[in-house]
Amino acid sequence: MKIAPPTVRPPALCMKRRWASLTLTAWGVCSLHIVRGPRASAKGCDLASFELLEPRSLGEAFALLDSDDPAVRPFGGGTALMLMMKAQIFKPVRLVSLRLLGGPLHGIELAADKSAFRIGAMTTFAELEHSPDIRAHLPVVTQTMLTLANVRVRNVATIGGNLAHGDPHLDLPPVWTALDAKVRIASKAGERTIPVQELFAGYYETTLKHGEIITGIDVPVRPKWTSHYAKVTTRAQHDWPALGLAVSAQFDGKRINDIRVVLSAAVDRPSRMKGAEAVLRGAEIDDAVLSRAADAALGEVHIESDLRGSADYKQHLLRVHLGRAVKALSPRGDQATIQRA
């Protein structure tokens, strides 16, 4: 699925605009809330009207989403959608809120044997941030939350919407990838589970098909692993990262037994750097190894210039911050930081 990226549009971009009025869909009154109609929107709001539906079962949701029209979409926290709507990049006809779908879409569940988390897609960032279980077993997630957005956004943004958005600048997808998490995806045809990195197909592009929704994420608890996320910003401190670097490793003394290295933001989707991983796997960390790992990393990713830095500069930053992230790993446990440049 491809989503229009919220890049800057040229002035007065001519795009076909859809004009939708409210249509009352015949789903039993008790199961369906129509939240906002044209009357509400007339109150000085800049958005064209559309329908926002709140089904109470997955079945209803699938039926409501059963459309080829890209203007029919699921609605998680709405933080990404609303930005695109205000910028007129996305003009919805129907938004299907997943808010009232109970059970599997909500909650942070730690398996009884503490081997894995099952997290519902509608879990908000704030719920993640304040969960004692997450803090105890996936501290890098807790820490990443503090580098991310602001309290108001974290209170509503959901991990499902975050994954489905496909924006390569987002901070959580590389972290989930480094943690070896899997996404649960459901449609009326059934459920499938894929590794997080397989969700991303390109710049604002995911492998989700029409009618599919993300129901949650499964994250293994790996007691011997330690993780680090570096959000590297180059202009104002709070900015989209020029590069996001998530590293997760298992040590045997000073030796790296196993490692996952994921780059985001500087590339079109969160990408594992397997060449760098191969250099680091089995090695003890020193400057020579890190330098070889950086060489491998630079050889396997394509970085382009953008507003956050020239390609050359960002390549240099990758070299520096890969080294720093790996060095920061073992002794201090999990960490996520905003690294200016």
Partner 1 sequence: MAAAIGSSIGKSFARLESRDKVTGRADYTHHLRLPGMLYGKIFRSTLPHARIKRVDTSAASALEGVYQVVTIDDIRKVIPNPYYGPAFHDQPILADGKVRFAGEPVAVVLAFDKRIAEEALGLIEVEYEELPGVFDEVEAMTSTTLVHDELKPAATFPDLAHLKGRKATNVALDYKLRRGDTERAFAEADHVFEHTFRAQQVMHTPMEPFVSIADFKDGQLTLHTASQGPSFVRIEIARLLGLPENRVRVKVPFLGGGFGGKLYIKLEALVTALSVIVRRPVKIALTMEEQFFMVTRHPCTFTIKSGVTKDGKITARHCEVVWNGGAYADIGPRVTQKGGFTSAGPYDIENVTINSYAVYTNRPPCGALRGFGAPQTAWAYECHTDLIAQALGIDKIEFRRKNMLREGRPQASGTPLRDAEVERAMDQVLDRLQWNKPLDRGTGRIRRGRGIAIGFKGITAPTTSVAIVNMYGDGSCGLYIGTVDMGQGSDTVMAQIAGEVLNIDPTTIRVIHPDTDVTPYDMGTLGSRSTFHMGNAVRAAADDAKSKIAALARELGLPEGSNVPLSELLRRRYGMQAGNIIGTGSFIPDYEKPDTETGQTTKGTPFWGVGAAGAEVEIDTETGQLTILKLINVADVGTALNPMAVRQQLSGSGIMQLGHTITENMVFRDGQLTNGSLADYKIPSLLDMPVEYINEHVPNAYDKAGPFGAKGTGESTSIALSPAIGNAVADAIGVQIMDLPITAESIYRALQKANGTPLAED
Whether 212 and 183 have beta carbons less than 8 Å apart is answered as no
Q: Which residues bind partner 1 (CB under 8 A)?
A: 6, 8, 10-17, 19, 41-42, 45-49, 87-88, 234-240, 305, 307, 309-313, 316-317, 320, 338-341
Q: Rounded to the nearest whole angstrom, what is the least distance from the CB of residue 113 to partner 1 in the complex?
A: 41
Distance, in Å, from the CA atom of 308 to the CA atom of 170, rounded to the nearest integer, reads 14
Distance, in Å, from the CA atom of 336 to the CA atom of 341, rounded to the nearest integer, reads 15
- 164 touching ligand FAD, by CB under 6 A: yes
Q: Which does 214 bind (CB under 5 to 8 A by kind): partner 1, ligand FAD, none?
A: ligand FAD
Q: For the chain, what is the largest distance between any 2 Cα atoms, rounded to a whole number of angstroms?
A: 67
In degrees, to the nearest 5, what angle opens at C-alpha 252 toward C-alphas 270 and 179? 25
Q: Rounded to the nearest whole angstrom, what is the least distance from the CB of residue 321 to partner 1 in the complex?
A: 8
Residue 174 β-bridge partners: none
Distance, in Å, from the CA atom of 296 to the CA atom of 287, rounded to the nearest integer, reads 14
Instruction: Compute CA distances 325 → 168, 270, 338, whole Å.
Output: 20, 17, 12
Q: Rounded to the nearest whole angstrom, what is the least distance from the CB of residue 13 to partner 1 in the complex?
A: 8
Q: Which does 78 bind (CB under 5 to 8 A by kind): partner 1, ligand FAD, none?
A: ligand FAD
Q: Rounded to the nearest whole angstrom, what is the least distance from the CB of residue 149 to ligand FAD in the complex?
A: 3
Distance, in Å, from the CA atom of 250 to the CA atom of 225, rounded to the nearest integer, reads 4
Q: Rounded to the nearest whole angstrom, what is the least distance from the CB of residue 83 to ligand FAD in the complex?
A: 6
- 213 touching ligand FAD, by CB under 6 A: yes
Site for ligand FAD in 46-85 (CB under 6 A): 73-81, 83
For ligand FAD, which is the closer residue by CB, 165 or 260? Answer: 165
- 106 touching ligand FAD, by CB under 6 A: no
Can you list the positions of beta strands (E) in the chain?
51-53, 72-75, 94-97, 108-110, 116-120, 182-187, 190-195, 200-202, 205-206, 213-220, 225-233, 243-252, 255-264, 271-272, 335-340
139: amino acid identity, one letter:
P
DSSP category for residue 196: G
Q: Rounded to the nearest whole angstrom, what is the least distance from the CB of residue 226 to partner 1 in the complex?
A: 24
153: amino acid identity, one letter:
V
Distance, in Å, from the CA atom of 323 to the CA atom of 307, rounded to the nearest integer, reads 24
- Contacts with ligand FAD by CB under 6 A: the residue count is 29
Q: Which does 41 bind (CB under 5 to 8 A by kind): partner 1, ligand FAD, none?
A: partner 1
For ligand FAD, which is the closer residue by CB, 165 or 269? Answer: 165
Judged by CB under 6 A, the stretch of 132-140, 167-175, 189-197, 259-267 that binds ligand FAD is: 167-175
Residues 6+ apart with CB under 8 A from 300: 273, 274, 275, 276
Distance, in Å, from the CA atom of 253 to the CA atom of 233, rounded to the nearest integer, reads 32
Distance, in Å, from the CA atom of 23 to the CA atom of 269, rounded to the nearest integer, reads 37
> What is the x/- site pattern for ligand FAD, positions 190-209, by CB under 6 A?
------------------x-
Q: Which does 19 bind (CB under 5 to 8 A by kind): ligand FAD, partner 1, none?
A: partner 1
Q: Rounded to the nearest whole angstrom, what is the least distance from the CB of residue 291 to ligand FAD in the complex?
A: 30
The residue ranges that bind ligand FAD (CB under 6 A) are 3, 73-81, 83, 98, 121, 148-149, 153, 157-158, 160-162, 164-165, 170-172, 208, 213-214
